[in-house]
Amino acid sequence: MSGPGAAPALVVERIGGLVTVQDLGRPGYAHLGVTRSGAADRTAFRRANRLVGNHQGAAALEVTLGGLCVVALGELTLAVTGATCPVTVAGRPAATEALLEVPDGAEVHLGPALAGVRAYLAVRGGVQAEPVLGSRATDTLSGIGPRPVQVGDLVPVGGPDSADRARWPRIAQVPVAPLPAPHEVVELDAVPGPRADWLDRPGRDTLWQSTWTVSPRSNRVGVRCEGAVVTRAVAGELPSEGLVRGAIQVPPSGEPVVFLADHPVTGGYPVVAVLHDDDVDLAGQLRPGQRFRLHHRPQDVS
C-alpha cells in the first residue's frame, strides 16, 4: 500500500504478452523516417480514456493477449476496453468497458484474451512517461518511446491536477458490440491501392476472393497473411514509396501484409489495396490463426 502523500502508480506483478505504453501517436515526422505509431485499436483506446474522464490522447497501457497483473498504489479509477479479457479487482470479477474504482493496494488482473488481441487499461490522470517527439507511444519497429513494460516496473499515474484529465465527467459504462470470436471469419472493407495494376487478373481474384489466415508472425507492425499466393503482372520491385496505416503490400512471397500502427514509413513492394480507416482498428484485433476476407468497397464520393 502507498503511504500518505505518495504518488499514484501501478506496480507490475505479472505479464502475459507484450505490454506497451501507447497514446494516439506522433504525427508529422514521416519525413524524418518516424511513423506515427500509437494504439493499434484507436477506437478502443479512446473509449478507455473517455470512460475514466481523460483527454482522448492520454497515455494508457496496451496489453497483448491479456495476462497482466498490477497492484494499485493509491485509490485509482480504471477502465479496460478492447480485447475480451476476464478482469478481477482484489480477486472479485469486474466488468470491462466500464468504470472501475480500485482501492489502494488492490490487485487488478486481466485474464487471457478470449476474443481480440489488444486490451487497453486506462487510468484517470493518464499513464505518465517521458514524451519523445511529443508522444508517449512505444514504436516497436524503431524503438522510439518508452521500452515495453516489464515485471517489477512502477508505472506512474497522473494525480488530480494532471493535464491528461478532461473537464467532462467519467462514464459508468458504454454499450459495445463484441469483437468477432476467434472462429469467425472477419470482413474487412478495403479499396484498390495505388499499385493495384501490378497484379494480374488471377492475382486480383486471389486477393479479393480468398479467405486469409493471420500468421503467428504478425505484430504491431502488420498482419502477415497465410493462404493463397497473389500473382503479379509486373516483375521486379519499386523504388521506395510512402506507406500509410492500413496499406496492403504484396512482397515477393505473394502473401499480403496489412500494415498496422508501427508500419515503416516507406517500402518497395506494391501497395495493392488499402483498408478503410475504421477497419484498421479491427485488423489490429485479429488473432493468430483467425481468418478474414477483404471486401471490395467503393470509395466514398462526396
4, pLDDT greater than 70: no
d(CA 86, CA 185): 23
- Does residue 188 contact residue 293 with C-beta atoms inside 8 Å? yes
Q: Using CA atoms, how far apart are residues 189 and 65, in angstroms rounded to an integer?
A: 25
The one-letter amino acid at 178: P
Find the angle CA(151)-CA(155)-CA(161) to the nearest 5 degrees.
170
Q: What pLDDT does residue 301 have?
A: 46
What pLDDT is stored for residue 302 in this prediction?
47
Section 126-145 average pLDDT: 97
Report the largest interatomic distance among the alpha carbons of the chain, rounded to a whole angstrom.
69
Q: Which residues neighbour 37 within 8 Å (Cβ) at sequence distance 6 or greater?
A: 22, 25, 26, 135, 137, 138, 139, 144, 145, 261, 262
Q: Are 118 and 62 in contact (CB under 8 A)?
A: yes
Q: What is the pLDDT of residue 246?
A: 98
Mean pLDDT computed over every residue of the chain: 95
pLDDT of the residue at 298: 67
pTM of the model: 0.95
Q: Decide if pLDDT at 277 tops 50.
A: yes
- Per-residue confidence at 36, pLDDT binned at 50, 70, 90? very high
In the predicted model, what is the mean pLDDT of residues 53-57? 96
Mean pLDDT throughout 187-210?
Answer: 97
For residue range 233-266, what is the model confidence (pLDDT) as tens digits?
Answer: 998 889 999 999 999 999 999 999 999 999 999 9
**What is the arithmetic mean of pLDDT over 206-222?**
98
C-alpha cell at 106: 488492490
Cα 204 versus chain centre, distance: 29
pLDDT at site 251? 94
Q: What is the pLDDT of residue 299?
A: 60
List phi, psi (to 5°) of 110. -105, 115
pLDDT tens for 137-182 read 999 999 999 999 999 999 999 999 999 999 888 888 888 999 999 9
**Half-sphere exposure (CA, 13 Å, Cβ side) for 167?**
0
Using the structure block, give the residue that is written with the C-alpha cell 486481466: 110
- Give the contacts of 205 (CB within 8 A, at least 6 positions apart): none
